[in-house]
Amino acid sequence: MQDLESARQRLRDFADARDWDQFHSPKNLSMALSVEASELVECFQWLTEDQSHALNEDQLAAVTDEIADVQLYLIRLADKVGVDIAAAIEQKLKKNEEKYPAATVRGSSKKYNEY
């Protein structure tokens, strides 16, 4: 899969072939996305900071699968509600650059309203 558009179409085709579109409401997809994100978090549960940076082969495979699941549900949800993910990312990055100017926030983890 080379881009978000081809992934979106492939997911549409996948759901259509299985008659699953009926289940893919924005509500259901957002709930499924939350479950998958939680499964990704579970991969790191109880690891130290150092361990989280040095995953073994099995751990990395599990993380990879969960990242893919999160991304697939996110693409499907965006398709169902009519959000262009690439455009949304660009817009959000611009907002973040304004909220967190590098000269002000460099090296700090404070939230934008704490500056």
Instruction: Looking at the structure, tell me whether residues 100 and 70 fall in a common domain.
Output: no
- Per the listing, tokens 């000269």 go with 103
Instruction: Looking at the structure, tell me whether residues 73 and 97 fall in a common domain.
Output: no
Query: Would the pLDDT of 109 be above 80?
Result: yes
Beta strand extents in the chain (DSSP E only): none
Instruction: Looking at the structure, tell me whether residues 18 and 34 fall in a common domain.
Output: yes
The CA distance from 62 to 43, in Å, is: 7
Instruction: Looking at the structure, tell me whether residues 15 and 51 fall in a common domain.
Output: yes
Report the domain count for the chain.
Answer: 2
Instruction: Looking at the structure, tell me whether residues 47 and 95 fall in a common domain.
Output: no
pLDDT digits (tens, 9 = 90+) for 49-90: 999 999 999 999 999 999 999 999 999 999 999 999 999 999
Are 14 and 79 in contact by the 8 Å Cβ rule? The answer is no
| 75 three-class SS | helix
Instruction: Looking at the structure, tell me whether residues 31 and 52 fall in a common domain.
Output: yes
Residue 113: per-residue pLDDT: 86
The CA distance from 36 to 76, in Å, is: 13
Instruction: Supply the range of the domain harboring residue 107.
Output: 84-115
pTM for the whole structure: 0.89
Taking CA atoms, 10 is separated from 14, 28, 81, 86, in Å, by 6, 19, 17, 17
